[in-house]
Structure 1
């Protein structure tokens, strides 16, 4: 797949991530990327950019059923089988330090929440906002289509509440969300999380931290200038530091 991105410049690595707030694997993938970055020698030169992706763009603001009922209906499983699916993901999340509570989850549209992430990005708080929304949905059972809830969450990370509310009510970043989703479609992204490193490498799914670390190292090597290979005699005459060497006469 050809990724239509401007390559990262030397000394800097951009990581673009498509994800949904209602995606449990996206939160796990976020944690694993953070674990990889802790071991990455150039982590201070990495820029993380979050992009919107709705798993169900047609979802209503709120669904009456809980997660177990929705999973059972979607995959043709019994309630007990759906519960086991949830329990398995909960165990995986716990191994990465996350506390999931699917029994609290309030399902519905995440369109407004994605707009809030864009609003936070405009104020230099995209990362903290993404983290807070994921925890709010997957651990605390907050509804991601409720303006009051989203405004309160924005204030928690230090954003101005009235400004956040106005941005949501006016749909100021609705176009930005749709642009992210159109970009994902153009790239052939059908599942999340999806990572693009250095505008060159795509990594699909919540890969283990070791896999992501390897991808970071490979992407970093690609954006660095190739080492200079010196040919000829290293001590041949040359001019340097304002002086030129002349055979038999020393330096001018």
Structure 2
């Protein structure tokens, strides 16, 4: 079964929704039978590249409010993040253009490191306060998940994987996705936003049953005496 997730690395609800989905899969008993594919979405491609501006200024400008009011707004989001054991540090977060981050994720995915770089990019922005729009930061993150830094830098300095990124965005447009996170579960069910946890769990369960997946057994007790590979434990 495949679950597709459209998200952006500067969207606070995208990280929350990611954790909710992971919890739903873990609790479902279908781990190992569900593939999660992360898709690109750009909330604001006009954001300056290489900026290290605090997020409070742009947030205040967007909603025509004071910096202090913008800080108050983020407190509610931080509280929501704690529900899934994420400890957002809005004071350290930096505004970022995420085009290069999405290209890096596409490149990493082609090398079997898509899940690792997606998690690291979100962690870098929301927990570590790193400027994920900068090439040097992205190269370091790539190295941290086991990718070649030199190759990552060469890729980021060019235009590779832009087509793949914009293809995701076009598919989102065709699906009428207007905000993220957005989840498509087995091409049958859509979930928009970081919804209540029970909705994720119910939808994953419903789709898994309909797909004919076999739930893992819940083992009880410690392992007793048994025979395996032609040998019996008789001690």
Give me the TM-score of the superposition, normalised by structure 2. Answer: 0.87
Quote the residue 1:105 is aligned against.
93
Alignment match of 2:15 (pick from 19, 24, 27): 27
SS in 1 for 2:14: helix
Question: What is the correspondence of 1:37-48 to structure 2 with a 5 Å cutoff?
Answer: 37-48=25-36
Larger radius of gyration: 1
Question: What is the correspondence of 1:54-133 to structure 2 with a 5 Å cutoff?
Answer: 54-63=42-51, 65-133=53-121
Structure 1 unaligned spans of 5+:
1-12, 226-252
Give structure 1 regions of 4+ aligned residues with deviation exceeding 6 angstroms: none
Quote the residue 2:220 is aligned against.
none
- Alpha-carbon distance, 1:42 to partner: 1.4
Question: What is the correspondence of 1:177-188 to structure 2 with a 5 Å cutoff?
Answer: 177-188=165-176
Quote the residue 1:10 is aligned against.
none
Could you tell me how far apart the structure 2 residues matched to 1:142 and 1:175 are?
26
- Alpha-carbon distance, 1:207 to partner: 1.6
Give aligned pairs, total: 213
Structure 2 unaligned spans of 5+:
214-235
RMSD in angstroms over aligned alpha carbons? 1.4
Give me the TM-score of the superposition, normalised by structure 1. Answer: 0.81
- Alpha-carbon distance, 1:204 to partner: 0.4
